[in-house]
Amino acid sequence: MSELEFFKMSASGNDFIIIDNRDGKVYDIFKDLNRFIVKICTRRHSVGADGLILIEKSTNHDFRWRFFNADSSEAEMCGNGGRCAARFAFVNGIAPERMAFETLAGVIKAEIEGRRVKLQLTDPIDLRLDYPVGLEDKEIFLSSVNTGVPHAVLLVDDVDYMPVEELGRLVRYHKAFGAKGTNVDFAQIIDRQNVKIRTYERGVEGETYACGTGAVATGVILKEKGLLESPVNIVTKGGETLKVYVNDEVYLEGDARIIFAGKLNEEALV
């Protein structure tokens, strides 16, 4: 346990624990991986984070990742986590400034410039625009798309006054999105190149300061509706502005910061 080194990193207010697991040591040490993830991600009692990222060997690309939400559910993709993973790999000599890595959503490409990371996501799929979803006491219209993970996007007049936790939870678990559910983004258009969003994230089961794939989903949907121009600035609840490029290819750009590096003590899992 004393040899288990990790980085704590943050991107747009989303924070992650990242471990170089190319030698498989995490699996050797922790037979109950789910319990380990939940414990280490619990705030105030352990390191605390929105998720855990394991960097692993790849035979065809610079590395492979496994991404876990704080509740230990494994997700296909995470935009902000992807930027942190890419910078971690570059800083630790695992990958060059231009890299490609494997995720459950497909191969992701990244470019590093200082602490700025530009991430090319997989092509969006399952785009649906402006369809009704019935809730307990009303019907709402939303759009949805999968940008590595599924997102439902609601256009609102003032995102600051939306009941993100309450309404987000209802949409997240709605039968329209199947057993796995969906992330939910609330988007307010400022002008054709600036949008504010707030996001309810599945796996975290609450609002987060930002969501990279949610920013991209919002950009993809609003571009398809003819409401914005690319690139678009997406202002997150955490205050950082993410840049989203929506053309033939889709990119997410923003900072990925190293908060600290350390060694895990066994008392972190008590």
Q: Tell me the catalytic residues.
A: 78, 211
Query: Residue 106, Cβ neighbours under 10 Å: how many?
Result: 12
Angle, alpha carbons 89-100-84 (nearest 5°): 40
Question: Which of 39, 19, 17, 41 has the alpha carbon at shortest distance from 28?
Answer: 19
Q: What is the dihedral of CA 63, 6, 198, 155, to 10 degrees?
A: 10
DSSP E strands: which ranges in 4-73? 5-11, 14-20, 51-56, 63-69
Q: Is 108 helix (H, G, I), strand (E, B) or coil?
A: strand
The amino acid sitting at 262 is G
Please report the sign of the dihedral spanned by the C-alpha atoms of residue 71, residue 74, residue 78, residue 83: positive
Distance CA 223, CA 175 (A): 27
Residue found by looking up tokens 């990119």 in the block: 251
Residue 248 CB contacts under 8 Å (≥ 6 apart), including other chains: none
